[in-house]
Amino acid sequence: MKLLKKIASSPSILVFADQAISSGTTFLLTLFLAQKLDNKSFGAFSAIVLVSYLVMSITNALLIQPFQVSISKIMEKKQYQVFLTYGLFVVSLFLFFLIQFAVFFLAHTNEYRLNVYAISCFILGFIINDFFRKLLLGINKVKIVFAMDFIFLLLILIVFCWDETIQLSNALWTIGLSNLITALPGIYFIVKNFETPTSWKLFLSHHFSQGKWLFSVALLQWCSSNFFVLVSGIYLGIEALGALRLVQSFFGILNVGLQTVENYFLPKVATIYNENSAKAKKYLLEITIFGALFFAVLLTVFFIFSDEIIVLAGGQKYQNYGYVVRIISVLYFFIFLSYPIRIAVRVLVLNKIFFFGYVLSFVSSLLSFHFLLNSFGLYGAVSGLILNQIIMILFWQNQLKKNQFQLWK
């Protein structure tokens, strides 16, 4: 009971616990569906999830990411929250019709056409739930977010334990509807604190000035993160692609820490920076040191017990892919190093720099993928992802130096 009271009274611990529930649920749900669905259906599910992440990235770029930086500067906060919700409604409506068009005119198999409404429910539920989670985290309503994610976990457990016949269609409907139901506390909060957004032109200008770059970054970031993964399936075969995706899913555990930094600490650093840049730099360094200890322990464990981990996650058929766990561990070291620099770039609203960092990364992927995949297989695929991270870190760090904001010398 003392531990629960401590968690409830500490926003930072509660955010971390909430992200653990959210990421843990996603992780276990992925493994569960991989075992229950046939290979074709799970492949289709994975493709839908990949598209969902692309849509989420775009929605975040247009709505959430500008909000995370601007919320500390805007006085009419309730009006701003209503404005963002209106924006979500417009995006959702547009997205619904876009999904219908894409599935019926661009899909090459009936697997997607037969499940078009289930796919719409899944993707819309996914982005709506994600929107309210990040909105509420940005205004420090951590307890509501914790309740939302706990309810989602309970709904998933109840439905999937009760329904023994798991197929692609009912899996999409279950997850999509659970996300929509879970978003109700967020919708209630907006309705309860409703104020007509009379300053919508001001809000729109904030989002247009930042979003035009962040939108491009979202597309490039998705391509940069998934390009080597997608191409490796063509060059190395479906088995190698499956092993890489399995390990990536397992390493989703580490997104607990990374998502905490992105969703909770970014607005706090931005608020401190508006008051005192030196204090913001010190606070960001403190977060980085704490995160480095957390990641160092986990990555060391993953590296040492790589063979056992791959078998635990995918079974004996993946026992020869333990090396993939080791090289992904190295990749995540560089991913972690990039995060404090990413936050500094976002706080200084250097969105052009953010954009050009991903341009350089994607160009590097295009120039190197053929040689790396042909010569080194999966080692080459992950090496390409590591190279992308190094290029972005060096470029962003150099640009921060020009703007007199150095995290370390």
Lowest-confidence segment of 97-106, 140-149, 157-166, 249-258 by average pLDDT: 249-258
- Give the per-residue pLDDT at 188: 92
Q: Please give the average per-residue pLDDT across 245-249, as a whole number.
A: 77
Confidence of residue 181 (pLDDT cuts 50, 70, 90): very high
Confidence of residue 390 (pLDDT cuts 50, 70, 90): very high
Number of neighbours of residue 334 by Cβ within 10 angstroms: 16
Q: Please give the average per-residue pLDDT across 54-70, as a whole number.
A: 86
Confidence of residue 1 (pLDDT cuts 50, 70, 90): low
- Give the per-residue pLDDT at 10: 65
Calculate what percentage of the chain has a pLDDT beyond 90.
17
- Helix, strand and coil percent figures for the chain, each rounded to 5: 90, 0, 10
Confidence of residue 14 (pLDDT cuts 50, 70, 90): confident
Q: Is the pLDDT of residue 122 over 90?
A: yes
Q: Are 50 and 203 in contact (CB under 8 A)?
A: no
Q: Is the pLDDT of residue 3 over 60?
A: no
Q: Say which DSSP state 64 is in.
A: I
Confidence of residue 204 (pLDDT cuts 50, 70, 90): confident
Mark out the alpha helices in 167-237 (DSSP H runs). Answer: 168-182, 184-192, 200-236
- Give the per-residue pLDDT at 85: 92
Lowest-confidence segment of 106-115, 227-236, 380-389 by average pLDDT: 106-115
- Give the per-residue pLDDT at 282: 84
- Give the per-residue pLDDT at 176: 94
- Give the per-residue pLDDT at 182: 93
Confidence of residue 132 (pLDDT cuts 50, 70, 90): very high
Q: Is the pLDDT of residue 208 over 90?
A: no
- Give the per-residue pLDDT at 133: 92
In the numeric block, which tokens belong to residue 86? 């209106």
For the stretch 328-377, pLDDT in tens is 999 988 888 888 888 888 888 777 787 788 888 888 888 998 899 888 88
Q: Are 121 and 173 in contact (CB under 8 A)?
A: yes
Q: Is the pLDDT of residue 207 over 70?
A: yes
Query: If you average pLDDT over every residue of the chain, what do you get?
Result: 82
For the stretch 218-238, pLDDT in tens is 887 787 777 777 677 667 765
Size (the chain), residues: 409
| pTM, entire model | 0.73
Q: Are 137 and 263 in contact (CB under 8 A)?
A: yes
Q: Which residues contact 114 (CB under 8 A, 6 or more apart)?
A: 169
For the stretch 292-327, pLDDT in tens is 888 888 899 999 999 988 887 777 777 887 898 899
Residue type for 360, please?
L
Positive/negative CA dihedral, 322, 324, 327, 333: negative
